[in-house]
Amino acid sequence: MPEPTPPAALPSDPAACPPSCGGPRVRAIPPGEDRERLMCPDCGFIAYQNPLIVVGSVVTWEDGRILLCRRSIEPRRGFWTLPAGYMEERESTAEGAAREAWEEARARIAVGPLLAIYDIPRISQVQLIFHARLLSDDVSAGPESLEVGLFAWDAIPWDELAFPTVHWALREHGDRQGRVDGAPAVNPAPETLARWARGP
Amino acid sequence: MPEPTPPAALPSDPAACPPSCGGPRVRAIPPGEDRERLMCPDCGFIAYQNPLIVVGSVVTWEDGRILLCRRSIEPRRGFWTLPAGYMEERESTAEGAAREAWEEARARIAVGPLLAIYDIPRISQVQLIFHARLLSDDVSAGPESLEVGLFAWDAIPWDELAFPTVHWALREHGDRQGRVDGAPAVNPAPETLARWARGP
């Protein structure tokens, strides 16, 4: 388990390779390791590359309607998504989810327990999707959204959702019927996907 | 929410800044963003820095004893820890936890549900700690361990644990008395820490 105190330079800090070097550009197995890393052959700096965390939430208003954002950016411009994005440094997961709701929908939210944790190893991504309550229904599109809206379950644009995990998280939310305790969902099993495909 | 398909070069890929550049070395706010990033002034490349994921597990043998590893590396050399470490690219969180158990304790494990998710924003780290079952008690020290062992609850070296989150995860495990369902723990509240401090 890694250390709890910050080293002078994080292993992933590109600033640790001085400008006088050509930069990390050679794939080689560093001493004592078991896999190739991107290294600088001039100073030996190792540019570790690690998975990224996406933080987001299924945000509900008092009447149960769900906050969705229509993307103004590629990929999937024009499709609907949850407020979510890459976690930043020096924030907690819940702070990140709240920040994304503000950035994408000018929504003030109270972040609750974890609804789902999705692994997407193909793109080295872990998505942490929380339950959240909307604190005011005064929402509006941020720079990454064309529009935002509150959707009753039957009004969700199922055929215009941006990504599979948006679909999964919404269906998990629906399955739980307002309960926010319990274990978080993980990537759905084939049976679950088949059940969801049969209808709402 | 970010895209589900890999871009040609991930934003964090140092290889995206060509060797002919001086490398990302200037802190500036990129166009359309709201915070400083480390940028290359030659090509405009942005070296995003994001939180790291630690994956690990509380691993139990059939008799309830718990697997701990005594660190052979700094920081906290000589102190006891859970098998855990930085998640690698192109693996799932559970695969990462299993890999770490093998690397640190030559332990083959079956990774179960999430026991805890700990935020450590000070060092931009998110720790995902799973329940896990040991599949064989034939364990031995890997390169990052001086020794490994299976500990009954009363034999856990509480005063020689390497990090606060090791303590938290073990106490959470104890509180749950073998149950692996339910919501994962988060950073303990002051009351919880006070209760734990009063004794086992």
CB contact under 8 A, B23 and A25: no
8-37 in A: which are within 8 Å (CB) of B?
10, 12-15, 17, 19, 21-25, 32, 35
Instruction: Write down the pTM of the prediction.
Output: 0.91
Report the distance separating Cα B183 and Cα A139, nearest Å. 30
Residue A3 C-alpha, separation from nearest chain B C-alpha, in angstroms: 6
Picking from A122, A14, A88, A7, the residue whose alpha carbon sits closest to that of residue B13 is A14
User: In sequence order, what are the beta bridge partners of A39?
Assistant: A26, A46
User: Which ipTM score applies to this complex?
Assistant: 0.90
Between CA B81 and CA B98 the distance in angstroms is 15
Q: Give the closest of B14, B86, B117 to A50, CB-based.
A: B86
Contact call for residues A81 and A92 (beta carbons, < 8 A): no
Contacts of B51 in chain A (CB under 8 A): 53, 87-89, 91
Helix (H) or strand (E) holding B192: helix B190-197
Query: For every residue of B75-142, which 3-state class applies, written as one string?
Result: CCCCCEECCEEECCCCCCHHHHHHHHHHHHHCCCEEEEEEEEEEEEHHHCEEEEEEEEEECCCCCCCC
DSSP state of A126: E
Cα nearest neighbour of B3 on chain A = A75
Measure in Å the smallest separation between the Cα of B2 and chain A Cα atoms: 6
Task: Check CB contact under 8 Å for A5 and B123.
Answer: yes
Output the pLDDT for position A12. 44
Instruction: Render each residue's pLDDT in chain B as its tens digit; 200 residues.
Output: 664 443 333 444 545 777 778 777 788 898 888 888 888 888 888 888 899 999 999 999 999 999 999 999 999 999 999 999 999 999 999 999 999 999 999 999 999 999 999 999 999 999 999 999 999 999 999 999 999 999 999 999 999 999 999 999 999 999 999 999 999 999 999 999 999 999 76
Cα distance between residue A87 and residue A55, in whole Å: 6
Structure confidence at residue A39 as a pLDDT band (50, 70, 90): confident
pLDDT at A47: 82
**Which residues of B are less than 8 Å from A53 in CB distance?**
50-51, 53, 126
> DSSP letters along B50-76, please?
-PEEEEEEEEE-TTS-EEEEEESSSSS
- Residues in chain B, total: 200
Residue B155 neighbours by CB distance under 10 Å = 12
Cβ atoms within 10 Å, residue B34: 9
Task: Note the pLDDT tens digit of each residue in A47-86.
Answer: 888 999 999 999 999 999 999 999 999 999 999 999 999 9
Residue of chain A nearest B46, judged by CA positions: A14
Q: Measured between CA atoms, how close is A17 to chain B, in angstroms?
A: 8
What integer pLDDT is reported at residue A32 of this predicted model?
80
- Subunit contact A126:B93, Cβ cutoff 8 A: yes
- In chain A, which residue's Cα lies nearest the Cα of B145? A1
Closest-CA distance of chain A to residue B53, Å: 7
